[in-house]
Amino acid sequence: MTTSAEGVSDAIRHTVLRDLAWLLATPDLVTLGAYPGRPTGLTLGLADNHHAWLTALLPGVEALNGKLATRMGHYHERLWQLLLDNAPNTRLLANNLRITQRRTTLGELDMLYRTRTNPVPVHLEVAIKFYLGLPDGPGEANSQSRWIGPGGLDSLALKCSHLLHHQLPLSRTRTAQANIAHWLTPRDTGEATTLSNLLTQQLAMPGVLFYPWQPNLPPPVGATAEHRRGWWCHQYDWPSVAERYSTALKVAWLAKPHWLAPPSLDAFGNANERMEAVMAQVNRYGPQQVMLYDPKGEENCWEENYWEKSCQENSGQERPLTRLMVVPNDWPRQVPLPPKRRG
């Protein structure tokens, strides 16, 4: 029987294809006002089983031969470029389109794409984020400022503010639309004589929100109900976390940029042995992400409802996994200030 986790079948072996499958199955972390979320499976033409499509994509992925970016953000962008350029119903028109005015760069548009049924371009911004929630920090318990990146330089609040006030509205400006119209061909815009009020903006922001393993912290404002959840703990808390599972617990370490899809079952090993190596990575490089797999499955989910939210629904084919971020004992060493209020 083929198992799966977070919507990724173990029948998919190639790491990049597994990450693509994860992107297709993973919801956005947040909603941002009037801006719609990611292109849907229906938009891409992949509403049904996309396993065959991913398999057909393998030769093109292998041809890249290590040319994919190694930085998380750039790697994620490249995956979206692959999706939009190869999906049945979409065509990638441009990526990293620089918007300039009198030799001054105002910003970049991550991607422009169109669908089979509509020639008017769609501006898609993409971001993949892994934020850890702080029991104590700026604002109320549900403040986006409480959710910070592993390095402590970024926060959900800062990212959402930048998206709302700069990245997404950029393509609505006259300067940007002049740049876009100059760059695109008539075929890209169809019969539209102007992009004004026609070009739309979308945001794809998958990722994981890691809740503190012990305190009960509510989701941040704007979080989608179905967002991916994980847990974080300090190094000294690991023995207490491990006690929640059986002695059969297995662990897999996730190396960047492959923090997306859970690894296949054969990547998991003995928890004690794997965590010794992980702790060495934490000491040297800072926070590290691991996957926990207890072969006894659902019965080992924590009794508290708070923890149970991270346990996969086990239908007999879905492998129950838990994402865990292990951080140094003195983490966080810094917490970003909340974004400035706008009038």
Report whether 94 contacts 114 (CB < 8 A).
Answer: no
Q: Among the residues of 172-311, which ranges form H helices?
A: 174-183, 186-189, 238-242, 271-285, 305-308
Domain boundaries, the chain: 8-207, 223-327
- What are the CA-CA distances from residue 313 to residues 111, 223, 225, 321, 322 (Å)? 35, 21, 16, 10, 12
Average pLDDT of the residues in 124-141 = 96
- What global pTM score does this model have? 0.91
Q: Report pLDDT for 314.
A: 42
The tokens for 173 are: 């400006």
Q: Report pLDDT for 313.
A: 42
Q: Is 246 left (phi over 0), alpha (psi -120 to 50) or beta?
A: beta
Rounded to 5°, the CA angle 263-267-268 comes to 100
Pairing label, strands 269-270, 200-204? unpaired
Tens-digit pLDDT profile for residues 175-199? 888 888 877 766 555 555 455 557 8
Three-state DSSP at 172 gives helix
Tens-digit pLDDT profile for residues 189-225? 555 545 555 788 999 999 999 999 988 999 999 999 9
Q: Report pLDDT for 195.
A: 59
Tens-digit pLDDT profile for residues 12-33? 999 999 999 999 999 999 999 8
